[in-house]
Amino acid sequence: MRFLSWSPLVLLAFLPQSLLPFASLCGFKWLTGLPCPFCGLTHGLLFWMHGEWAEALHWHLLTPMVFILLAGAPFVTQNQGIAQQKRLLQLASGAFACYSVWRWCAIVLNKG
């Protein structure tokens, strides 16, 4: 069961691109008009699993990081202590926060 974290990756690898929703399901985006830190990840992972790396990065720059986290999750859970897991989560959260701020700045500056 610890390899369950691979299930989203396997699912996305076999999911046709046409099945992804065109409209955003993100409430944050509906409310603010800005993408939330996770917006574009599903598309990014789908394109990553289909081998379209550039398209994946276009949707979300942190797609490779999330792929590594999901792929490595079973081993992290089994072999690492809570402190290491916490540090990993903090690093990932920091990366998402930085990427979000950068993306918001880019959107606001482009509009201006």
Partner 1 sequence: MFCQFCGTAVEDGTKFCPTCGRSQETVEQPIAPQIPIPEPPPQYIPGNDGGGGGSAQTGKWISDGWQILSGELLLLVLASLLGAIVANVTVGILAGAFAIGINIVITRKILQNRVDLGDLFKGLKYWLDGLLATMVIAIFVFVGTLFCIIPGFVVAAMYMFTFHFIYDKRLGFWEAMQASHNVVKQDYFGYTIFLVCVALLNVAGVIACFVGILVTIPWGHAAVTAAYRDAVGFDPAGTYFS
Residues that bind partner 1 (CB under 8 A): 1-2, 4-5, 7, 25-28, 31, 36-39, 41-42, 73, 77-78, 81-83, 85-86, 89
Contact indicator for 74, 2 with CB cutoff of 8 Å:
yes
Shortest Cβ 106–partner 1 spacing (Å):
19
Which of 13, 26 has the CB closer to partner 1?
A: 26
Which of 30, 102 has the CB closer to partner 1?
A: 30
* Neighbouring residues of 62: CB distance < 8 A, sequence distance ≥ 6: 41, 44, 95, 96, 99
Distance CA 92, CA 99 (A): 11
Which of 7, 17 has the CB closer to partner 1?
A: 7
Enter the tokens of residue 40: 């574009």
Which of 19, 109 has the CB closer to partner 1?
A: 19
Ordered alpha helix ranges (H), the chain: 7-14, 27-32, 41-49, 53-59, 63-79, 82-111
Shortest Cβ 66–partner 1 spacing (Å):
11
Shortest Cβ 111–partner 1 spacing (Å):
22
